[in-house]
A and B are shown apart, each in its own frame.
Chain A
Amino acid sequence: MNYMGFRRAFLLTAFISLIGLAAGCAPFSSAYTFKGSQLDPPMDLPDFELMTDEGQPFRLSDNAGELTLVYFGYTFCPDVCPLTMADVKQALAGMEAKDDINVIFISVDPERDTPEVLSRYLGAFGPEFVGVTEPMDQLQPVLQAFGAYAEKAEVEDSTAGYLMNHTARLYLIDAQGDLLLTYPFGFEPEDLRADLEHLLETNQS
């Protein structure tokens, strides 16, 4: 090996080492703080399969490697549910990697939310919003896995007949299928978007 060849090899090695070092240090030098409430360590979720409004099964383990947002709500709900879905829509607006993000709206009111009703309700928000409606006894184990709650409440003096009490949190499942983040009602769409973008970036590397 002549001198020039040696010099070139040396420079190349040094350069590659530098890149390696920089990459190795990156997670430490710019530790990202999640905007949502973080479960540390992420919570294991049992795999579950639910029927979507399109008549397709949604199995959590089929979506490994992708991010999944889960919300428990019902279409009769005029206030908190559409507001949360609109906030999710706003967070996703303009994001490039929407294909790697699933939004699952699990109805806690299977009596009123037929697949047709749910499909039309969610269609207004976007194609990545998928509805799930199953009888309550099949939903209970899923609710429990998330630590979520839903209960029918009869109301007097109302045309509604009954309303549902339910957990008003948005859940984020990471690419490993674990529950990583939750967001309370009224979260900032920008915060959700920042967390999603960070997770998508770190997944790819």
Chain B
Amino acid sequence: MVKRLHFVFFVVVLTVLLAACGAPTPTEPAAQTSDEPVIKVMEPFARASMPNGAAYMTIMNEGGSDDTLLNADSDVAEAVELHETTIGENDVMQMRPVENIAVPAGGSATLEPGGKHVMLMGLQEGLVVGDTFDLTLNFEKSGPQTVQVEVTEGMTMSHDMGSDAMENSDMEHTMDGEMEHAMDGNMEGSDMEDGAMKDKE
């Protein structure tokens, strides 16, 4: 009988805990009036890389007026800039800084591989698959919005691998070790001080 009560108690506790987990965590600002921009950042991700990297995401504006992404900050990199890759005639790739990225009312801006992205220059440590880092996006009207960026291996998220799971975990370890050394060499090496990084702090 006592055992049974324990069990019931356990189930009740578990249910309460699960319900708490499932509850939405309100990270968005409280409902705004419809003539304000309402910014939502969907699935921010980055790829494992060094010495530089890029963050991608879809920025939705569910509000009634336009907004603009002005710039971004993150502790993981020495410099964070908005850039755009274009692939033009004869597959020549060009990358250029862009002044800002418009997020129109009721529309969205897509930051994706081979397109617009948040460029992370001089990563303190290389980005490693499975890591997350904070990225603050500064919007003209909505102000700063901090999102958690996940470092993933593929264009798609990590669930597309299946039988390659072993390979992936290999990669993580390799990246881990290699990246740190690589950063040491690269950031403190002569090439960065040669003016490649003008604003090195």
Report which A residues bind B (CB closer than 8 A). 75-80, 82-83, 86, 89-90, 93-94, 111-112, 114, 116-117, 120-121, 123-124, 126, 147, 149, 153, 155, 157-161, 163, 165-169, 184-186
Q: B107 on the interface (CB 8 Å rule)?
A: no
* Cβ contacts under 8 Å, B190 to chain A: 114
Q: Does B79 contact A (CB under 8 A)?
A: yes
In the complex, the answer to whether B185 meets A117 with C-beta atoms within 8 Å is: yes
Q: CA–CA, A1 to B113, complex, Å?
A: 74
Apart from A79-B85, A116-B189, list 14 A-B contacts with CB within 8 A: A75-B51, A76-B196, A79-B95, A79-B113, A82-B53, A83-B113, A86-B48, A90-B164, A124-B48, A149-B92, A155-B97, A157-B99, A158-B83, A168-B93
Query: With a CB–CB cut-off of 8 A, which chain A residues contact B92?
Result: 149, 165-168
Assuming the contacts A82-B49, A124-B50, asked whether A167 and B93 have C-beta atoms less than 8 A apart, the reply is yes
**Assembled-state Cα–Cα distance A102/B180 (Å):** 26
Knowing A76-B51, A86-B48, say if A94 contacts B167 (CB, 8 Å): yes
Cβ B191 vs Cβ A80 within 8 A: no
State how many residues of chain B have any CB contact under 8 Å with chain A: 55
Asked if B150 CB lies within 8 Å of chain A CBs, one says: no
Chain B residues closer than 8 Å to A120, beta-carbon distance: 50, 178, 181-182, 185-186
Q: Is the interface of A mostly helix, strand, loop or mixed?
A: loop
- What distance in Å separates the Cβ of A201 from its nearest Cβ neighbour in chain B? 21
Q: Residue B179 at the A interface, CB < 8 A?
A: yes
| Nearest CB in chain B to that of A153: its residue | B94
**Residues of chain B in range 158-179 having any CB-CB distance to chain A below 8 Å:** 163-164, 167, 171, 174-175, 178-179
**Which residues of B lie under 8 Å from residue A169 when comparing CB positions?**
91
Confirm or deny: B199 has a beta carbon within 8 angstroms of a beta carbon on chain A.
yes
Point out the residues of chain B lying under 8 angstroms from A86, CB to CB.
47-48, 153-154
Q: Give me 7 A-to-B residue pairs in the complex whose CB atoms sit less than 8 angstroms apart, sorted by A's number.
A: A116-B189, A120-B181, A121-B182, A159-B122, A159-B199, A161-B196, A165-B93
- Shortest Cβ gap from A82 to chain B (Å): 4
**In the complex the two chains form, what is the Cα distance from A185 to B87 in whole Å?**
9
**B153 surroundings in chain A (CB, below 8 A):** 86, 90
Establish whether residues A124 and B186, one from each chain, have CB atoms under 8 Å apart when the complex forms: no
Q: Is B4 an interface residue (CB 8 A)?
A: no
Q: For A78, give its contact among B120, B167, B182, B185 (CB under 8 Å).
A: B120
Q: Whole-angstrom distance between the alpha carbons of A161 and B196 in the complex?
A: 6
- CB nearest to B116 among chain A residues: A79
Contacts of B126 in A (CB 8 A): 124
B174 & A124 in contact (Cβ 8 Å cutoff): yes
| A78 B178 Cβ-Cβ under 8 A | no
Which residues of A have CB within 8 Å of B97?
155, 157-158, 160
Of all chain A residues, the one with the shortest Cβ separation from B46 is A78
Cβ-defined partner of B91 (8 Å) among A82, A116, A123, A185: A185
Known contacts: A78-B49, A159-B197. The answer to whether A117 contacts B164 by CB under 8 A is no
Interface residues of B in 74-89 (CB under 8 A from A): 78-79, 81, 83, 85, 87
Q: What's the Cα separation between A76 and B97 when bound, in Å?
A: 14
Q: Nearest CB to that of B183 among chain A residues? A: A120
* Residue of B49, B50, B78, B194 with most chain A CB atoms under a 10 A cut-off: B49
Residue in contact with A89 in the complex, picked from B53, B171, B189, B196, CB distance below 8 Å: B171
Which listed residue (B48, B93, B178, B189) contacts A82, Cβ 8 A? B48
Alpha-carbon distance between A76 and B190 when the two chains are bound, in angstroms: 14
Is the beta-carbon distance between A168 and B49 smaller than 8 angstroms? Answer: no
**Does B54 belong to the interface (CB within 8 Å)?**
yes
